[in-house]
């Protein structure tokens, strides 16, 4: 059994436990769901139906793409259903002889208006849209990476680290001078190393703009790595999985305030890393770094970290929020990314990707504060 | 009154007509809504509340960004509401003294599960999630560009045309040789001309990959513009608005089948352009090109075109589908992009941006089939 089949197998088991006859997944513009890639290999733009009798049917926009990438029992072009998800659900359920009256689960983020349409037009089945069901189980399973995913992450991290080293050299030698230089260097280097691209739009913010958490626009033709603090936040997408790192590039002279931002950020990073263990509450780690910053009357305007995978942000979330009940577990891959931002002095952030294993913590990437 | 105020004014009028006391807009990861930028200038990651007494309150993630970009009556950092939209809605409604029991409209694409939470937790107001309301009115208004938007589109098109010419020269002289070369040239040229970036990920597919509607990955280090048909689909994002063009680059020798794809695509493009008039049904234009292809036993696997603006795909949609009731109107900016794709011979597409005015049709961009 390949890794796609064994993922589907766990979902079929869950469906059986919950008495679900069919599950629909949807990946479309504005409603991305990497579950389809995770379960079949198809990179996107498709519906996927799994049934209680362990069949997987893909309904892709692009049948040529599916021929190359998808591992499923059956493929039906979406055009045959007029590109309408309700029609596809009805048609597939009838074709597969899903018993009338049985329960079919649709995506948990389905809009209120679309759900009403499903209920109105699909009268032969009991259509469910809910949390705590099969879709939520897929998200939870995706947060714990399997062997194949960890293998991919080791390769992706190796490429990321190679590019970090090249970036440092090229910035030091002033071959890369502008935000655009740096961002396009990453794009080209990624593709030359068989990445699909970057996992999200690279953020390169020179000293004038680094105070923004997410500088806008993400990169411009302005100078990068001039005196002060510059931030470079990027990720590589390799076989669907994204890395996510942030370097801060520092060029003297620095103000005392800038030195303070840097040393606090480094202390927070070390503190967080020391607290990461199998079973720790994600919120507790985030609360500790918030407290450290708070003692110096600073506040971090974003979360401490987040899971990475087929999405750039996914479970677990390392947020200091009362509604965050998640625990870090072996097999999770996530970022630690403390940062501080000051409109007058600029910003700094240090972000690396962490793999938590049964035997401890592995820092996959080697992002750092680079002092020129 | 500036153009942002006059857009808001039209929404306030609509709210008054419909007896809506407050409207909430939301732009967040996975739930993008450019209405916020259209109404306030804030590029994204915010909530926006408009009230019947003509107040606009922005609730941004990044208050520094709002200080630079947003034009509103009041700004409240999202952190003050714990980054929870329900809390922000309640808090803002109370702060602005929106009368208890009055109607508040939330985004029409709100998920079923989130809508249930709103209804449960916001008991002092009548929360509506519906089509045909204020949100739909905003989408319809956004499809008809105002003077400011047309001014932006003329500038964006000029830059796009300049880059098309540079691309043609650099491909002919073999300065640009790979898919990555071409895509990164566009990224750099865009930023050097004060664009925010590209409007969507550039698709550069050499002859081996051009048969895919959306080649995956979008660009690689493979050769571009070798013998046969290569497709280059890109858009520039300028002051928020994206252009969207596709060039087909042709290098001899061609098969008869390839010549046939090209001439059919050009004929379909001319036919579509000749049919575009104020008031024509979008579906009728799309049906005509489908019929033209059908006579030659070919089929186009995507729509004929779509509106462009703050989104890369927005109203109007030029689809040959029975549920498409939209008519083309003066002020609309949209693409025409007939294309044909053959797994053995490759693909071709010709796409330009069209502005429909009261006096006729203006082809804003100058994408073309480039024969080397």
Reported as a single tens digit per residue, the pLDDT across A4-32 is 999 999 999 999 999 999 999 999 998 99
Task: Select from B111, B142, B173 the last residue of a domain.
Answer: B142
Residues A116, A170: one domain?
A: no
pLDDT attached to residue A303:
95
pLDDT attached to residue A163:
98
pLDDT attached to residue B223:
95
Q: How far is B16 from chain A (nearest CA, A)?
A: 24
Task: Select from A142, A168, A191 the last residue of a domain.
Answer: A142
Residues B70, B129: one domain?
A: yes
Task: Select from B91, B121, B142 the last residue of a domain.
Answer: B142
Which chain B residue shows the shortest CA-CA distance from A188?
Answer: B180
Residues B133, B163: one domain?
A: no
By CB atoms closer than 10 A (0-12, 13-18, 19+), residue B177 is middle
Dump strand ranges (E) for B140-290: 197-198, 203-205, 228-234, 236-238, 241-242, 245-251
Residues B230, B250: one domain?
A: yes
Which chain A residue shows the shortest CA-CA distance from B214?
Answer: A62
- A 10 A CB-CB count for A366 gives 15
Residues B134, B157: one domain?
A: no
Q: Which residues between 220 and 249 in chain A have a beta carbon less than 8 angstroms from any beta carbon of chain B?
A: 220-221
Query: Within an 8 Å CB–CB cutoff, is residue A65 touching chain B?
Result: yes
Please count the structural domains in chain A.
2
Give the Cα separation of A141 and A13 in Å (integer): 13
Residues A134, A243: one domain?
A: no
**A47-66: average pLDDT:** 95
pLDDT attached to residue B303:
95
pLDDT attached to residue A30:
87
Residues A213, A64: one domain?
A: no
Q: Does pLDDT of A214 surpass 80?
A: no
Please state whether the predicted TM-score (pTM) of the whole model is above 0.80: yes
Q: How confident is the model at residue A212 (pLDDT cuts 50, 70, 90)?
A: confident
Q: Does pLDDT of A213 surpass 90?
A: no
- Which chain A residues contact residue B120 at CB under 8 A? none
**Phi, psi angles (nearest 5°) of residue B122:** -110, 85
Residues B154, B65: one domain?
A: no
Residues B156, B118: one domain?
A: no
CATH number at residue B169: 3.90.230.10
By CB atoms closer than 10 A (0-12, 13-18, 19+), residue B102 is middle
Which portions of chain B are predicted below pLDDT 50?
A: none
- Which chain A residues contact residue B177 at CB under 8 A? none
Query: Within an 8 Å CB–CB cutoff, is residue B180 touching chain A?
Result: yes
| Cβ neighbours for B55, distance < 8 A, ≥ 6 positions apart | B49, B73, B74, B96
Residues A127, A185: one domain?
A: no
Q: Give the up-direction half-sphere exposure of residue A79: CA atoms within 13 A in the CB hemisphere.
A: 11
Residues A151, A253: one domain?
A: yes
First to last CA, chain A: 51
CATH number at residue A35: 3.40.350.10
Query: Structure tokens of B198?
Result: 């590209």
Give the Cα separation of B15 and B23 in Å (integer): 8
pLDDT attached to residue B30:
87
Which chain B residue shows the shortest CA-CA distance from A128?
Answer: B112
Residues A254, A354: one domain?
A: yes
Query: Within an 8 Å CB–CB cutoff, is residue B80 touching chain A?
Result: no
Q: Which residues between 279 and 318 in chain B have a beta carbon less than 8 angstroms from any beta carbon of chain A?
A: 301, 313
| Cβ neighbours for B116, distance < 8 A, ≥ 6 positions apart | none
Mean residue pLDDT across chain A: 96
- Which chain A residues contact residue B343 at CB under 8 A? 64
The boundaries of the domain holding residue B345 are: 144-371
Tens digit of each residue's pLDDT (9 = 90 or more) over A279-310 = 999 999 999 999 999 999 999 989 999 999 99
């Amino acid at each position: 059994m390949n890794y796609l089949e064994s993922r589907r197998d766990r979902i079929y088991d869950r469906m059986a436990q919950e008495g679900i006859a069919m599950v629909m997944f949807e990946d479309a513009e504005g409603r991305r769901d990497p579950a389809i890639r995770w379960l079949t290999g198809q990179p996107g733009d498709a519906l996927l139906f799994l049934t209680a009798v362990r069949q997987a049917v893909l309904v892709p926009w692009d049948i040529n793409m599916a021929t190359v990438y998808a591992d499923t029992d059956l493929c039906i072009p979406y055009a045959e259903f007029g590109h309408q998800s309700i029609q596809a659900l009805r048609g597939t359920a009838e074709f597969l002889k899903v018993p009338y009256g049985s329960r079919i689960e649709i995506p948990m983020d389905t809009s209120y208006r679309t759900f009403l349409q499903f209920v109105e037009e699909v009268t032969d089945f009991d259509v469910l849209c809910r949390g705590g069901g099969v879709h939520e189980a897929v998200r939870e399973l995706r947060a714990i990476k399997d062997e194949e995913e960890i293998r991919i992450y080791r390769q992706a991290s190796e490429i990321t680290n190679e590019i970090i080293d090249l970036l440092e050299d090229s910035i030091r030698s002033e071959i890369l001078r502008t935000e655009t230089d740096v961002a396009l260097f990453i794009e080209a280097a990624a593709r030359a190393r068989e990445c699909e691209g970057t996992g999200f739009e690279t953020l390169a913010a020179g000293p004038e703009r680094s105070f923004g958490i997410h500088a806008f626009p993400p990169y411009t033709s302005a100078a990068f790595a001039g005196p002060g603090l510059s931030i470079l936040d990027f990720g590589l997408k390799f076989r669907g999985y994204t890395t996510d790192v942030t370097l801060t590039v520092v060029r003297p002279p620095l103000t005392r305030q800038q030195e303070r931002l840097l040393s606090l950020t480094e202390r927070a990073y070390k503190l967080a890393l020391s607290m990461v263990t199998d079973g720790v509450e994600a919120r507790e780690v985030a609360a500790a770094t918030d407290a450290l910053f708070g003692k110096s009357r600073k506040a971090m305007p974003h979360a401490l970290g987040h899971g990475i995978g087929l999405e750039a942000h996914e479970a677990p979330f390392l947020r200091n929020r009362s509604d965050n009940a998640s625990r870090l577990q072996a097999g999770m891959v996530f970022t630690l990314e403390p940062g501080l931002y000051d409109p007058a002095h600029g910003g700094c952030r240090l972000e690396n990707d962490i793999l938590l294993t049964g035997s401890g913590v592995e820092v996959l990437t080697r992002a750092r504060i680079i002092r020129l």
